[in-house]
Amino acid sequence: MRTRKNNIEMYEIVAKRIGLDCEYIQTSTKKKSLLIKNKDKFFIIGTGAPGFYPSVKRFNSFLTTNKILTQQILQKFGYKVISTLSISPEDYSSLVALLEEVEKKTKQFPLLVKPNKGQDGQHITICEDIDQLAKVCEFFFTEQQGFLIQPIYTQNEYRILVVDNELVLMHSKSNPTVVGDGIASIKSLLAEVPESKKSQPVIDWQHKKRKTTPDSILKSGETFEYHITKIPSVDVYITDTFPPAVATWARTLAKTIGSPVVGIDVFIPSDITDTSSYTVIELNSNPAVYYLPWRCNDAETPYRIIEKVLTNYFKLS
């Protein structure tokens, strides 16, 4: 039986607690969304559209779902972004023409290749040479889907969350790993991970770097990464009393893009208070908070953030 609450269920709990009315309504043939209202106004929340935050504008969503557009806008305002080669297959008359362009502009490996539009970590690939890169380019060309080619960063990654123009959360992120016990093979440890959560290119890359095989035994406590997309961690976890420089930087970025709500993923080399060192990875205008209880052992903050959203929207204070 599922015990973890999702974002919509959390909203329902908070809304009822603070005296708002809730009901589920059919918004498509396969989807129900939550209607929250009082006697004066309402809003509808759901995954994807319409989202979780009534203050987010349509153009904010348009911006943040397009990674290369996000980079272009942020660069115009002086923010550091990841060095990126953006490829739109429709700009090329043939796969050969696309590959010629890519080969001219990529000189160093390994490289990270991912869709221009976010897909929850799907179709993210590591390429260690031009042959691997050519195969990935062929896939995106066949699908006529835009994609990005980027260097692989080894810096620490963080999520910074602004809600209604206020910094409410900052936490670290780390690569998902299996942990050795000195007995089990890497293959058997990875068998416990759902297929949808693993990336075979990343696993192959790890084996090559570490000179291991699927039958290798990890020492007790030794870790092995199985996906490039990082998950929330608590090495750094702040929900109040933020460093002033971080709070100012986050609020300013939100103001720059005109969005009162934004999840900001950043690389930070070392000192989190040195905002001049921040490199923006991507932005999210519909950031979830449901993962905090089970990823970060924090069952209070998501409900507090949701109460803030509802209280501000319905003007309850």
Please say whether the beta carbons of 297 and 234 come within 8 A. Answer: yes
Instruction: Based on the fold, state whether residues 201 and 258 are members of the same structural domain.
Output: no
Instruction: Based on the fold, state whether residues 184 and 100 are members of the same structural domain.
Output: no
Q: Is 66 helix (H, G, I), strand (E, B) or coil?
A: strand
Please say whether the beta carbons of 186 and 224 come within 8 A. Answer: yes
Does any domain span residue 30? yes
Residue 193, both tokens: 């991970």
Instruction: Based on the fold, state whether residues 97 and 164 are members of the same structural domain.
Output: no
Does any domain span residue 57? yes
Task: Please report, for the domain that includes residue 170, its CATH number.
Answer: 3.30.470.20
Going by C-alpha positions, the residue among 102, 125, 121 that lies closest to residue 113 is: 125
Instruction: Based on the fold, state whether residues 274 and 167 are members of the same structural domain.
Output: yes
* Rounded-to-integer distance, Cα 71 and Cα 85, Å: 11
What pLDDT score was predicted for residue 201? 82
Half-sphere exposure of 248 (CA within 13 A, CB side): 7
| The total number of structural domains that make up the chain | 4
Structural domain range at position 242: 53-82+155-175+230-287
Instruction: Based on the fold, state whether residues 167 and 271 are members of the same structural domain.
Output: yes
Going by C-alpha positions, the residue among 132, 117, 112, 125 that lies closest to residue 267 is: 112
Task: Please report, for the domain that includes residue 115, its CATH number.
Answer: 3.30.1490.20
The β-bridge relationship of strands 147-151 and 111-115 is antiparallel
What tens-digit pLDDT sequence spans the chain (317 residues)?
A: 567 999 999 999 999 999 999 999 998 888 889 999 999 999 999 887 789 999 999 999 999 988 889 999 999 999 999 999 999 999 999 999 999 999 999 988 989 998 987 655 577 888 888 999 999 999 999 999 999 999 988 889 999 999 999 999 999 999 999 999 999 999 999 999 999 899 888 899 899 999 999 999 999 999 999 998 899 999 999 999 999 999 999 999 999 999 999 999 999 999 999 999 999 999 999 999 999 999 999 999 999 999 999 999 999 97
What pLDDT score was predicted for residue 118? 62
Phi/psi at 111 (nearest 5 deg)? -130, 155
Which residues make beta-bridge pairs with 140? Answer: none
Quote the pTM value. 0.88
111-126 pLDDT, tens digit per residue, is: 999 898 765 557 788 8
